């Protein structure tokens, strides 16, 4: 019985972590793409409003 539990844990825990890593990578790619699109649209909108990005100090 104890061997079955240990075998189950050694098989299931890496599978859970592997699934979490894949999910985080996919979510990161989605967020990055969304952020890039949003930044591009905000940049073009502000540029159309006459904001000069060369003179802005951050």
* Helices and strands, number each (H, E), in the chain: 1, 0
Q: Is 70 exceeded by the pLDDT of residue 58?
A: no
Q: Which domain holds residue 40?
A: 20-49
Inside any domain, residue 30: yes
Total domains present in the chain:
1
Q: Which residue has the higher pLDDT, 32 or 40?
A: 40
Domain contains 43? yes
The lowest-confidence range among 20-24, 34-38, 45-49, 54-58 is 54-58
d(CA 44, CA 50): 10
Whether 15 is in a domain gets the answer no
């Amino acid at each position: 019985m104890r061997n079955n539990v240990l075998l189950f844990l050694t098989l299931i825990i890496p599978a859970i972590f592997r699934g979490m890593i894949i999910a985080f990578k996919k979510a990161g790619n989605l967020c990055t793409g969304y952020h890039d699109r949003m930044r591009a649209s905000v940049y073009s909108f502000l540029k159309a409003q006459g904001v000069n990005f060369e003179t802005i100090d951050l």
